[in-house]
Chain A
Amino acid sequence: MSPSVSLISSKFAASIFYAKSHQGETCGSNGLPLTLNSIAVFGRAQSMKALKHPNLCQYLDFIRSKHERMIVVSEYHGTTLEEKFHMIKNNQQNILRIFHQIASALTFLDEKDLIVHNLEPKHILLDELNNVKIFNYGLFNMTNCGEYVSFPIGNLCYFSPERILGSTKNIKSDVWSLGIMMTELFLDFKFCDNWKLSNTMRKILSFQGCENVLQKIASEFDRTNEYEKLPKDIRNLLEKCLTVSLKDRLLPEEIIDHEAFRENLEFHLYTNPPKNKESLLNLPLDQIYHLWMLAGGDVHAELKKERLIRCEPPILLTPNVVTLDGKALGAKKSQSYLYDDRIAILSLSNLKERLKKISPLRYFPLIHTPSCPYNYNNGMEKLPLVIRERDTEYQFHRILLFDRMLKGYPSTRDMIVKEAQTDIPPFLRGKIWAAILDVIPNGSYTGIDKVTPTQTDRQIEVDVPRCHQYDEYLSSPDGHRKLKRLLKAWVTAHPQYVYWQGLDSLTAPFLYLNFNDEELAFLSLYKFVPKYLQWFFLKDNSAVIKEYLSKFAQLTAYHEPVLSTHLVGINFIPELFAIPWFLTMFSHVFPLHKILHLWDKLMLGDNSYPLFIGISILKQLRPTLLSSGFNECILLFSDLPDIVMENCVVQSQEMYETTPKSLSHREHISREEKAGEWDISDLTLDQIQSELCPRISANDFVDLLRYSPERLCPVDLRGALEFSRLYIEGSINIPFTSVSLSEKNLESLGIPDLNKILEERIIVVYSNLHENCILFSKFLVECGVPRVCVLHKGFDILHTIVPNILLSK
């Protein structure tokens, strides 16, 4: 049944089972469709990936496919005990060692409140050193005690009496199975081998009321000699594993402490196999598996090749009668829905081939040694992100590099941020985001009350089942539970804030990335909100949101004057479409895979970054928006059409980098330093709302003047006389009194080649009268001039700049 050891060059295997499909009624009492059992399994199974123990095969992936089929990918290494039975049976020391290692795996599982319930020799793998690795131990748990599948779980021969009588959920039933397996080895026989089910069942039940089950088994299976030869302590151990009374049966941890193992304890423990000569195989398994998939690994294809997935002609499965409520009768029961314990070994040869040229040194990037380059990007960073994310070698380098840096976090945080600017490998995204957000897990999440009912519960209750439900993680019952807990915890941890609809969407990406690490998801959200959404979740957030949207309108005018003029003209104000954008940082408007790429960049920017994302979305839709009226525009945003994320990210990054910081100044942010004399401060909402163009601070203005005057075009609106007395180098004087703003045309200003002069420059308008600046800057925007801003505090502030920047003729 299972491949023999010589065939195994791989470490992974895939197996299949089918979740129970809902018959007939497909809606629950709340009107929502019943969650597919495969999705429920999918959600529950995720936590199994986090189980790491030397005596357990690590779970690597769970894949849902058609017809409620679940594919489980797990570590698979070694030969089954079933096959090795005859090699082991005569060696008491080895048997004891296996005994001990299984018990130690059970102890580990018991600590996590997990039960195996399908222990049998087929699921005990032994490597070359006869170390135990238990395989397929999660089936009972991931199917919610078998509730989500239609087949029984486990091999009846190894069932304990109480399990046959229907009692599950007790780890001691696993101890019984272990006892039977070990008895078989010690006494060299097979218990109830190839018996009819009813006979096996009768036999096991016959042990009830029996004082010494071991003895009874020995005599009934004609093993009395072997039984008597057993050392006393071993006999005692087996007897205590095989008591009918649960009270007397040992717990896994008591087995480990049993006197039978006292002697030679070292020998019983797991011995690390020698390091593999192939560096690839020394990587963590989940990394190898991820790379395997990138290298073209296809679990489906492998299963098909091994004939584990068979196609049955649908005609054979047609029912005779279908009732009105959808129940199908008379169809032949498909064989494929029974449990199939075959496995398909996933070959690593493709991956090895892909990575064989990588020198062993590259497995150990030296991040602190400047003489050793740790970047092996080979110019890949210039290729589109989608290509980089799918390139095996590139991801190999990125994963190893980030993995190493993450091990040094928090002291390596700056390096992580720097590398993240290139890109973020999807495999480690959750951890990298957390590092960028300065998250340091400290166990505080456990202490937050997520249970006590609150007034917000109903709202969370109705929002969670609608939040990104196309995703398997978030639509699973476990996903719902986790999201609810996260939201409740966040609300509890922030008495100053309330739950606003949208917080669910905002939390979703963090949960999606850290599905097995709620604390990391929580802390990431906890840090994310003040960084980008300070005070957005106040009970009365209107001032915050109004300021934000006004700033958005101003920056739109700055970067896209023509579009802005059009939108203002049709009264298409951001209040009507941009609230969900910013309140959820776009997580309510885009599907998860797009949000991830958007946030990769967002994380690296400051609180103004999202504004530029908003503008880049407008930019992308510009032709449509410009040719549309109000209704068409708003319809466009009701269903945000396909936005190409890569362009969006590139454009917002560019705007973010080239826009002077003070232009995106908002009062409502958390500030570490107090604003100085030459910064912007104390702007009222009315002021921001009444000005079409953003203001620039004297600091930013002077910086431009000093360090990049070629990017600057100061426009001085004072009278010619004043201008001749004191002026800024390179400035143009357009006395406000001399211009007529009624004609929206630059030529009306009468300055030759003004278009050329303004091109590519940041136009800073100033005067002694702020009102004039507002009117004139608006005029420029309406003429379609981009990058227009107004100097905060006007010309006067320039007098105070030291060293002096004013010239006189």
Chain B
Amino acid sequence: MTRNYGALETKRFLVTPETKDFPRNNYGMATARGNNGSGQRPNNTTQNRICQFKLVLLGESAVGKSSLVLRFVKGQFHEYQESTIGAAFLTQTLCIDDTTVKFEIWDTAGQERYHSLAPMYYRGAQAAIVVYDIQNQDSFERAKNWVKELQRQATPNIVIALAGNKADLSQSRVVEHDEAKQYAEENGLLFLETSAKTAMNVNDIFLAIAKKLPKVEGNNGNVHGRRLNENEPNRQMNNCCK
């Protein structure tokens, strides 16, 4: 209920100790590279490969985009998560086998009016999560439109996941699981019903995306996050060529 501004400051980076509160070990969720990355390395054999991916969240407003990210990145859930204006940016790292995958997540505003800003965020993204609310048919239709737009205008081969959020409220479900699943299959999307509130499938959906993304040693710099300038050419990330 209370919004604790001061406290958030220290939680900004994904290396903070509070991440341990969150049952993320199943996925070997790593802290930052170099820090204790060696501990994540199986059998201490090879150096971790590090891949960075830009991921964007899209969907109707109040379907829970920010909540999904907050759950994934900080293991928290705010009942009264404020609306997002423009976009918010967060990062999170996870480990798959011997690869460290770092997500640079752009969480966008949901209101239709902010649509014109969206290309700035999905341009150059290797992955997208399109979110809808299982209690709201309109949000599902809106999700379909986002998928179409991404397929038409975003990076070719972008990995798109469809998330039916607020699955904890299935008693007031409107969008059937099978309907969404079928749509996802027809369009080659990953699909999971998620609940940011109960954490159900939240890590799984990011993990599924990470698995599906082509992984090749990326450079360690933080150059990728920058390519948001509209004037910049729409280059493909050069670390995705496997």
CB-CB under 8 A for A462 and B79, given A571-B229, A579-B85, A631-B222:
no
* Residue among B87, B116, B197 with max Cβ neighbours from chain A (10 Å): B87
A220 surroundings in chain B (CB, below 8 A): none
B169 within 8 A of A: yes
B166 within 8 A of A: yes
A573 near B5 (CB under 8 angstroms)? Answer: no
B8 within 8 A of A: yes
B3 within 8 A of A: yes
Which stretch in B18-26, B34-42, B107-115, B122-130 binds the other chain?
Answer: B107-115
A40 to chain B, nearest CB (A): 14
- Nearest A residue to B87 by beta-carbon distance? A576
B113 near A580 (CB under 8 angstroms)? Answer: no
B186 within 8 A of A: no
B2 within 8 A of A: yes
B166 near A31 (CB under 8 angstroms)? Answer: yes
CB-CB under 8 A for A466 and B222, given A31-B166, A642-B9:
no
* Residue among B6, B62, B172 with max Cβ neighbours from chain A (10 Å): B62
* Residue among B11, B79, B85, B168 with max Cβ neighbours from chain A (10 Å): B85
- Interface members, chain B 115-164 (any A CB < 8 Å): 116-117, 120
- Interface members, chain B 95-110 (any A CB < 8 Å): 104, 109-110
A423 within 8 A of B: no
- Interface members, chain A 467-505 (any B CB < 8 Å): 467-470, 475, 498, 500-502, 504-505
- Nearest A residue to B6 by beta-carbon distance? A642
A580 near B85 (CB under 8 angstroms)? Answer: yes
CB-CB under 8 A for A466 and B82, given A459-B111, A501-B114, A631-B225:
yes
B117 surroundings in chain A (CB, below 8 A): 575, 579
A639 to B89, CA, bound (A): 9
CB-CB under 8 A for A629 and B222, given A466-B81, A502-B85:
yes
A584 near B225 (CB under 8 angstroms)? Answer: no
B116 surroundings in chain A (CB, below 8 A): 540, 542
A591 near B62 (CB under 8 angstroms)? Answer: no
A469 surroundings in chain B (CB, below 8 A): 1, 3, 79-80
B201 within 8 A of A: no
A31 to B89, CA, bound (A): 25
Set A498, A630, A640, A641: member contacting B226, Cβ < 8 A: A630
CB-CB under 8 A for A631 and B104, given A466-B81, A470-B2, A580-B85:
yes
A334 to B58, CA, bound (A): 49
A501 surroundings in chain B (CB, below 8 A): 61, 83-85, 109-111, 113-114
Set B82, B91, B227: member contacting A631, Cβ < 8 A: B91
- Nearest B residue to A640 by beta-carbon distance? B5
B228 near A573 (CB under 8 angstroms)? Answer: yes
A634 near B1 (CB under 8 angstroms)? Answer: no
Interface of B, secondary structure class, is loop
B8 near A639 (CB under 8 angstroms)? Answer: yes
A583 surroundings in chain B (CB, below 8 A): 85-86
Category for how many chain B residues contact A:
35 or more
A636 within 8 A of B: yes
A588 to B3, CA, bound (A): 12
B61 near A459 (CB under 8 angstroms)? Answer: yes
- Nearest B residue to A588 by beta-carbon distance? B85
A501 to B115, CA, bound (A): 12
A302 to B117, CA, bound (A): 55
- Nearest A residue to B230 by beta-carbon distance? A575
Q: How many residues of A are counted as interface, with CB atoms below 8 angstroms from the partner's CB atoms?
A: 51
B8 near A641 (CB under 8 angstroms)? Answer: yes
B98 to chain A, nearest CB (A): 23
A683 to B12, CA, bound (A): 40
- Nearest A residue to B5 by beta-carbon distance? A591
A721 within 8 A of B: no
A577 surroundings in chain B (CB, below 8 A): 86
A31 near B9 (CB under 8 angstroms)? Answer: no
B119 to chain A, nearest CB (A): 12
B59-95 vs A, CB cutoff 8 Å, 1 = contact: the mask equals 0011000000000000000011111111111110000
B90 to chain A, nearest CB (A): 6
A722 to B222, CA, bound (A): 49
A570 surroundings in chain B (CB, below 8 A): 226
A588 surroundings in chain B (CB, below 8 A): 82-83, 85
Set A30, A539, A635: member contacting B91, Cβ < 8 A: A635
A641 to B117, CA, bound (A): 25
- Interface members, chain A 574-626 (any B CB < 8 Å): 575-577, 579-580, 583-584, 588, 590-591
A638 within 8 A of B: yes
A370 within 8 A of B: no
Set B114, B120, B222: member contacting A630, Cβ < 8 A: B222
A636 near B85 (CB under 8 angstroms)? Answer: no
A83 within 8 A of B: no
A573 surroundings in chain B (CB, below 8 A): 228-229
- Interface members, chain B 1-58 (any A CB < 8 Å): 1-3, 5-6, 8-9, 11-13
A29 within 8 A of B: yes
A498 to chain B, nearest CB (A): 7
A639 near B83 (CB under 8 angstroms)? Answer: no
A468 surroundings in chain B (CB, below 8 A): 3
- Interface members, chain A 389-409 (any B CB < 8 Å): none
B5 near A642 (CB under 8 angstroms)? Answer: yes
B229 surroundings in chain A (CB, below 8 A): 571, 573
Q: Can you name 9 A-B pairs with beta carbons within 8 Å?
A: A29-B172, A31-B166, A466-B62, A466-B80, A469-B80, A470-B1, A571-B228, A631-B89, A635-B12
- Nearest 9 interchain pairs by C-beta: A462-B62, A469-B80, A579-B86, A580-B85, A641-B9, A571-B226, A639-B8, A634-B89, A470-B3
Further pairs besides A33-B79, A466-B83, A576-B228: 9, Cβ < 8 Å: A31-B168, A31-B169, A32-B79, A470-B80, A542-B116, A630-B226, A631-B91, A638-B89, A640-B5
